[in-house]
Structure 1
Amino acid sequence: MTEVDRLFEAARAAQARAYAPYSRFRVGAAVITPAGTVFAGCNVENAAYPVGTCAEAGAISAMVAAGETRISAILVLGDGEALVTPCGACRQRIREFAAPDAPVHVAGPGGLRRSFTLEELLPSSFGPDNLAPR
């Protein structure tokens, strides 16, 4: 099973558990660490819309809770015909733990649709290296 296949399966399982009673737009995400460990998350909506949580944030939280701090690649899975790329806030969250050349895979129900690098989605980003001591 390829890395993308592993990420897709984890994201699909998480997407099935998404809590999206308002939008009905279920999203799953999965990250893989350099050690090959996969962590998944799903979107969790709230009646107060800005309080919801993105799938990417859930996957990153699971990774950090397990003691990992590096993302090698991420896959985001959403329904519909349009590409479901990470929102701006999630792009910044991913940047905290991933290098600019990290793959960001975007999938739909049928599988992988497109792959980007994080740099393509968040060019000239501000990250941890900007705050490194000089």
Structure 2
Amino acid sequence: MQETDLSDEKLLEIARNAARNSYAPYSNIHVGAALLTEDGKIFTGTNVENSSYGLSICAERVAVFNAVSNGYKKFKKIAIITSEGKGIMPCGACRQVLAEFSNNIHIITLDKDSNVIKFKLNDLLPHAFRL
């Protein structure tokens, strides 16, 4: 699917479908992410929790690692949403991982009134750690 054919709403829908595969017995917050590469490929991720909380991983990082594992490292946008259709922002660790690949990536989610909102990563993480 090419990016020109993919609306932010459709990417959010793909993320919401991914959230259905979440494993979240501790927080009970099921999150999905849909990552769009510059080549128009979509990679999804979902959060996976563990009783040793530090071993849990967020949906956004799963989507990025899925893309990288398949040879993609240039991203345009990522949609993040819960299985209940609520917006959620990426945590600091996810922001830093996204910054590794693009400071211009658009982050798409929903506000409290279910309106689509979009941010550039460098606005959310203006001083990312870089080597």
Q: Normalization by structure 2: what TM-score?
A: 0.85
Gaps of 5+ in 2: none
Q: 1:9 to 1:23 in 2, by over 3 A?
A: same
RMSD of aligned residue pairs (Cα, Å): 2.2
Taking every aligned residue pair, what percent have the same amino acid on both sides? Answer: 37
Which of 3, 16, 22 is the aligned partner of 1:12?
16
Residue 12 of structure 1 and its aligned partner are, at CA, apart by 1.2
Structure 1 gaps of 5+ residues are none
Match of 1:120 in 2: 123
Among 57, 64, 85, the alignment partner of 2:61 is: 57
Q: Tell me whether 59-68 or 1-10 shows the greater mean CA deviation.
A: 1-10
The alignment covers a number of residue pairs equal to 126
Shift of 1:78: 2.4
Q: Which residue of 1 aligns with 2:109?
A: 106
Whole-angstrom distance in 1 between the partners of 2:83 and 2:67: 24
Which 4+ residue blocks in structure 1 deviate beyond 3 angstroms?
79-83, 110-113
Name the counterpart of 2:78.
74
Distance change >3 Å, CA 55–CA 112, structure 1 → 2: farther
Is this contact kept in 2: 1:10–1:38, CA < 8 A?
no
* TM-score normalized with structure 1 length: 0.83
